[in-house]
Chain A
Amino acid sequence: MKVSQIELSYDQKKNHLDGVTTSLEKGKITTIIGPNGCGKSTLLSVISRNNAPQQGSVTLEQKDIMAYKAKEFAKKLAIVYQQNTVPQDITIEKLVAYGRVPHQQLMKKNAEEDEEAVNWALTATNLMQKRTCKLEALSGGERQRVWIAMALAQKSSILCLDEPTTYLDIFYQIELLELVKKLNEENSLTIVMVLHDINQAIKYSDHIILMKDGKILCEGSPIETVTVDRVKEVYGVEVIIETHESAGTYMVPVSI
């Protein structure tokens, strides 16, 4: 997936995305980080076609994403948003089955294929036992997994996640990121996500995009990208970055 020269402004005053160019490598985990308002979620929304850029284009398999039919695009790319609303009395399997919508026409559906995809998505997210439960009976971490299962049922090769860990306890945060990693490794899903936690980004990404003021400041492997100087420049925080034998590379804030 190639992103070239994206410009987008919500209010014509400020460029929320200003000449963003990058490429997202197939089969890798790419994480976009940066301070609030830097345009990271906006970039994700452009990649996932929720917002159309005013300038520039995003191409997937040599084709502009705006040229895809909505359902065709949904078979290629799925996205899980940070917050979701739905009636609380819906069962898990019904909600996950919504992920099959891109594969269905009003009168035509392949029940066997749908069933298989839903089962796979439920198994992958470890929700098989809960399939007949209602959404209201689940914990926050389980709910986030349900939304991921719905996206998986789309059977797309790219999965986008917008701040998937934000409202979760640390246990569920780790559980979720491990799930993302597993999906990436076992099913070679391309992952593009926005994270707030820099340590989680370092630990779980192959590639990090660091943004500031609607621009990409730098990108590359976690160790190349997240340096003491850049964190100071982007976030205004003095940090120590060290590598620990078993914990890997980590960052600790010291002062502002």
Chain B
Amino acid sequence: MNKKVSSFLVVSILLLVVIIYSAITGSVKMGMMEFIRAFFGEDNQNYSVIKDLRFPRIIVALFAGAALSVAGVLLQAVMRNPLADAGVIGISAGASFVQLFVITLFPMMFFFTPLLAFFGGAIACFLVFMLSWKSGLNPLKIILVGIAINAMFTGLTEAFVTLCSYMNVMVGGVGGSNLSMRTWSDVRLISFYGVIGLLASLIVASWCNLLTLQDKTAKSLGFNVTRARLIIAAIAVLLAAISTATAGVIAFVGLLIPHISRRLVGSDHKWLIPFTALAGALLILTADTLGRILVSPLEIPASTIMAIIGGPFLIFLIRKDK
């Protein structure tokens, strides 16, 4: 059996195991068999508690992980840069700030949360592109500009939240990066836009492959490089924005997962995109589950765990690139 297929199998099995483990572990506990029987229809009180409290959290974690990882792959294809990640270059921070700002001032806009997040992410993405384009596609330059944009939006968010707390204004939207207290309405939101974004990313997989050629070579094949870049970047921003709108800012997933995935299934995006979706879902659910049980009854947010793993990993990637 080849490496690609076995990687898919292993990740799928692990994903299933972690989903079940995450569902039955916590303040309300269930046995594995008990859980499986209840899942297939047996009456069980614990199960209904778990279903309402833990399932939404698990599903949001899965989609957020998948969406952020695929967003990473797409951004890396568009910027031709293995270090691009929605969380690191400020797209998530932009999405987070705009939705927080608008919803706090106009709580009635809550319904448009995804749209606002998309708008914020798009602004950040555009700024990164515009400010780093001049020197071609120098990977480190994009990262430096991205980090600056990220700092700017994070700072704006913090300033805004601080001001609001002085003035006793309730801050709307998803502020922190904690996956606790997710509800079925969060699930509906992220699964709807998440599925759209993930399907769209599969459709543009062949474009991502063509972008790995040099621009002038891709152009000589009659391929519209600029249009493809715009569409792929828009899909990436959608995925990053929707996961930010429901799960908060989580950095480094889009860096770590695509890198490992390339090792396992190669750089053909037709394999890479579905694989990163699965692996990303696995990573975020694992991080969230660990955060939930390590110091129980307290919690460490998944984003904190990702930052602890991801920071050193970015340093490793930058050193290896040289």
Contact = CB atoms under 8 A, between A and B. Distances in A.
A94 B267 CA distance: 12
A78 B210 contact: no
Given A98-B210, A101-B210, A89 B267 contact: yes
Interface stretch (A16-24, A54-62, A69-77, A192-200): A69-77
A81 B267 contact: no
A154 interface: yes
A74 B219 CA distance: 9
B137 to A, nearest CB: 11
A70 B214 contact: no
A98 B210 CA distance: 8
B6 interface: no
Given A101-B221, A102-B221, A102-B222, A81 B216 contact: yes
Interface residues of A, number: 28
Given A84-B214, A86-B213, A70 B223 contact: yes
Nearest to B80: A85
Nearest to B223: A101
A30 to B, nearest CB: 18
B140 to A, nearest CB: 17
Contact of A89 (B203, B213, B214, B266): B266
A98 B213 contact: yes
A74 B220 CA distance: 6
A122 interface: no
A148 to B, nearest CB: 12
A48 interface: yes
B221 A90 contact: no
A50 interface: yes
Contact of A101 (B212, B222, B266): B222
Contacts of B219: 50, 70
Contact of B217 (A69, A84, A89): A84
B268 interface: yes
A87 interface: yes
11 contacts: A70-B219, A71-B222, A78-B220, A81-B217, A81-B220, A85-B213, A85-B214, A86-B212, A89-B267, A90-B268, A101-B221
Contact of B221 (A74, A83, A84): A74
A65 interface: no
Interface residue range, chain B: 10 to 19
Interface in A150-189: 154
Interface of B: 203, 209-210, 212-214, 216-217, 219-224, 266-268
B214 A98 contact: no
Considering the complex of A and B, which 7 residue pairs feature the smallest CB-CB distances, nearest first?
A74-B222, A71-B222, A87-B267, A70-B222, A102-B222, A101-B221, A79-B220
A98 to B, nearest CB: 6
A38 to B, nearest CB: 20
Nearest to A95: B213
Interface of A: 45, 48-50, 69-75, 78-79, 81, 83-87, 89-90, 94, 98-99, 101-102, 106, 154
B214 A81 contact: yes
Contacts of A75: 222
B212 to A, nearest CB: 6
B208 to A, nearest CB: 11
Contacts of A69: 222
Contacts of B266: 87, 89
A99 B203 CA distance: 20
Contacts of A98: 209-210, 213, 221
A222 B210 CA distance: 39
A50 B212 contact: no
Contacts of B217: 81, 84
Interface centre among B213, B266, B267 (most CB of A within 10 A): B213
A11 B102 CA distance: 44
A83 B221 CA distance: 16
A55 to B, nearest CB: 22
A99 B267 contact: no
Nearest to B213: A86
Given A50-B220, A94-B268, A98-B221, 19 more contacts: A48-B220, A49-B220, A70-B223, A74-B220, A75-B222, A79-B220, A81-B216, A84-B213, A85-B213, A87-B266, A87-B267, A89-B266, A89-B267, A90-B267, A90-B268, A99-B221, A101-B221, A102-B222, A154-B221
Contacts of A74: 220-222
B222 A72 contact: yes
Contact of A73 (B209, B213, B222, B224): B222
A85 B210 CA distance: 11
Contacts of B221: 74, 98-99, 101-102, 154
Contacts of A70: 219, 222-224
Given A72-B222, A101-B222, A154-B221, A50 B216 contact: yes
B269 to A, nearest CB: 10
A95 to B, nearest CB: 9
